Structure 1
Amino acid sequence: MTYQLKPISREEHLRFVAARPSVSHLQVPSWGEVKPDWRAESLGWFDREGHLVGAALVLLRPLPRMRRCLAYLPEGPVIDWSGGDLERWLRPMLTHLRQRGAFAVRMGPPVVARRWDADAVKAAIADPGARRLGDVPATAEEPGAAELAGRLRELGWRPAAAGGEDGFAAGQPRYVCQVPFAGRSLEQIQGGFNQQWRRNIKKAEKAGVKVVRGDRGDLAAFHELYRETAERDRFAPRPLAYFERMWTALTAEDPDRMRLYLAHHDGEVLAAATMLTVGDHVWYSYGASTARRREVQPNNALQWQMMRDAHELGAAVYDFRGITDTLAEDNHLLGLLRFKVGAGGEAVEYLGEWEYPLNRLLHRAFGLYMSRR
């Protein structure tokens, strides 16, 4: 049986999201308002009885001077990926998006392939023969992930070309770091921290670092630190207007969808971060800090407060988001991996992003354009 697919209202989409333990924060209706250069549409899959059984936020990016667009489903769609017949889900989606003028479809199945616990990652970093996470055995391999990838290939989908560097894709990260919270007390979670994390939290407390929740007016202070972080870590920063748009859109949908935290010391903001929540999944989204007074460890204090609040919200997982899969000592991203894993996080590999060309000529031309940017 092929499901019927059609546009759904914002209210229908939100009810679908609310009925699940969680979906990606990139698959809630408000995320479309964060991306003004894209046209957003909520889609729903319906069974024979008319029940909504799947949903997706699709972002459509028009090509300049053409009536064609790229269709993108970040960390979606939200469908039953464990079922055997993918075609009944994906075929109506491709048909609909072709009618919308899409020349290609890019999606990110929210399907985990492998996991490495904190001890496995630490051992991999210490192993001189391991260059990437994939070089060492995973702690757990999710059943069905390899078969799902094979089925996608049979249906004409191909892995999207990775951009960026060291495991960070041009779209969403394939490798992330997650701290399991489900069924664990705060004492058990803190017990999973390494000695450096526990020592740094105590240093911050002794030094008098105070972590507070901010509001929209505090985004300017966050952004000042964020620009400093971007210059230090060599990435292109987003403008303040982007974060203001995020705040307005996400908190209008749910007051707790987005939070801002700031770490103060002696009257100065030393670190700040945004936190996103959908259901029982909490993400550390954007972080920023100054190089001044690092000895008082504001970043550890900030994360510990966010983790405590996430636990109070009933989080099943605290997601540190993207990590590198590269283990080389000379890689500047390795320190970030150590920091996240030091909080007891496990490395998680997703199935990655996949593309389907609806117009092969335009798809090749677009790929060439992106490779030259």
Structure 2
Amino acid sequence: MTLTVGPISAAEHLAFVRAQRWVSFLQTPAWAQVKTEWRSESLGWFDGEQLVGAGLVLHRPVPRLRSRTLAYLPEGPVIDWTGDVERWLDPLAAHLKAHGAFAVRLGPPVRTDTWSAAQVKEGFADPEVRRLTELPGQPDLVGVRLANVLRDAGWLPQNPEDGFGTGHPQFKFEVPLSGRTDDDVLGGMNQLWRRNIRKAAKEGVKVTVGDDVQAFHALYVHTAERDHFTPRPLRYFETMIAAMRAEDPERIRLYFAHHEDDLVAATMLVRVGTHACYAYGASSTAKREVRGSNACQWTMTRDALAAGCDVYDLRGITPTLDADDPHAGLIQFKVGTGGRAVRHVGEWDLPLRPALYRAFQLYMKQRA
């Protein structure tokens, strides 16, 4: 089968997304409206006249040379990653190069390894183990093969040691939902999580779904100040919610946990097909003992189950198992859900114009 790549409309792209079991929300047409600082386009793969794959491309221009771009497909494209990958990627690279890209960056939604919650817990208890990758995971042969194919074809891995870089995380934590009930998922959580969920209920914490973006953002900014990260502006979330709800009214939800009249936690859930994703969270410094964050997480998990989702995605973690590492608390919080840690193939670059690519890499290092 010979495939060709060409532009498709946002409507064609969305119809293709809706026909899939799941797609990353970063590969929906709506995401282009969120990332307004990038030029965007929807591309399709065609077998004759039939659309068989799709991808959202975000174009990042080179400073002072805006006709040349880094073409970025976050957590995409949506193609068949199990077979002859080069027949999908070669026409993509040729098309993008012909239209001014100096490099392609993509992040295949394909895993290479999985570790159970029990394995992660044992790793933390073993002083000889410092990283998740030092534990024997369950390999995914499709992902292992894909990494080798990309490397042999000249693609360059862009995966930092700590798991977080300028792109999207290679390591994530997720809770499998397929074929499970609320009781199954709750029973798989550790004792602390179950206790915190019960405590939130006993303390009278009420979780509701709402539309008060300003309240969400105010608590998110408070969280950023406490935890020392740079918050996104209110306009970002307003745009994100409006764009995604225009595609599907149930695509994105805000959850608010109140204790008495106080907002103690707020979270954002994004769902595309059978994939539910915890996108953002915030919590108050006061009243942390009422466990509003656990209450929000449990409500989102139950809603994902009720919607027929296969997985509840808690997003990024770092691979550290060193209890003294400042990132350790993140994975310890998520491992309490009883889910699994996963490593994906990660993000890869294909230089199309090597001199420009090297200049871009130097520019990015200077910015860092």
Q: State if a TM-score over 0.5 links the two structures.
A: yes
Deviations 1:266-293 (A, max 9, x none): 2011110110000000000000111111
Query: Are residue 45 (structure 1) and residue 39 (structure 2) matched?
Result: no
Distance of 2:106 and 2:42 partners within structure 1: 14
Which residue pairs with 1:59 in the alignment? 58
Letter matched to residue 80 of structure 1: D
* Identical counterparts, % of pairs: 56
Distance of 1:232 and 1:334 partners within structure 2: 17
Distance of 2:216 and 2:230 partners within structure 1: 16
Letter matched to residue 275 of structure 1: L
Deviations 1:40-66 (A, max 9, x none): 111111113x21111101001122321
Which residue pairs with 2:224 in the alignment? 230
Query: Are residue 255 (structure 1) and residue 249 (structure 2) matched?
Result: yes
Aligned match for 2:150, one of 146, 149, 152 = 152
Give 1:161 shift. Answer: 4.9
Specify the SS of the correspondent of 1:68.
Answer: strand
Which residue pairs with 1:26 in the alignment? 26
Which residue pairs with 1:121 in the alignment? 120
Which residue pairs with 2:347 in the alignment? 353
Whether the 8 Å CA contact 2:62–2:360 is kept in 1: the answer is no
Query: Are residue 310 (structure 1) and residue 304 (structure 2) matched?
Result: yes
Aligned match for 1:185, one of 167, 181, 184 = 181
Distance of 2:366 and 2:64 partners within structure 1: 19
Which residue pairs with 1:6 in the alignment? 6
Distance of 1:267 and 1:43 partners within structure 2: 48
Moved over 6 A (4+): none
Whether the 8 Å CA contact 2:143–2:344 is kept in 1: the answer is no
Which residue pairs with 1:333 in the alignment? 327
Which residue pairs with 2:165 in the alignment? 169
Distance of 2:103 and 2:222 partners within structure 1: 37
Give 1:81 shift. Answer: 0.6
**More off after superposition, 360-369 vs 104-113:** 360-369
Specify the SS of the correspondent of 1:30.
Answer: helix
Letter matched to residue 62 of structure 1: P
TM-score after normalising by structure 1:
0.96
Specify the SS of the correspondent of 2:322.
Answer: coil
Which residue pairs with 2:192 in the alignment? 196
Letter matched to residue 32 of structure 1: A
Unmatched 5+ stretches in structure 1:
none
Deviations 1:337-363 (A, max 9, x none): 111110112001000100001111111
Query: Are residue 243 (structure 1) and residue 241 (structure 2) matched?
Result: no
Aligned pairs, number: 366
Give 1:302 shift. Answer: 0.7
Distance of 1:87 and 1:351 partners within structure 2: 16
Distance of 1:2 and 1:366 partners within structure 2: 33
Distance of 1:131 and 1:109 partners within structure 2: 27
Give 1:144 shift. Answer: 2.9
Letter matched to residue 251 of structure 1: R
Whether the 8 Å CA contact 2:7–2:41 is kept in 1: the answer is yes
Whether the 8 Å CA contact 2:159–2:346 is kept in 1: the answer is no
Which residue pairs with 2:131 in the alignment? 132
Give 1:88 shift. Answer: 1.3
Give 1:89 shift. Answer: 0.8
Specify the SS of the correspondent of 1:81.
Answer: coil
Specify the SS of the correspondent of 1:31.
Answer: helix
Letter matched to residue 311 of structure 1: L
Deviations 1:111-139 (A, max 9, x none): 1100001101111111111111001111x
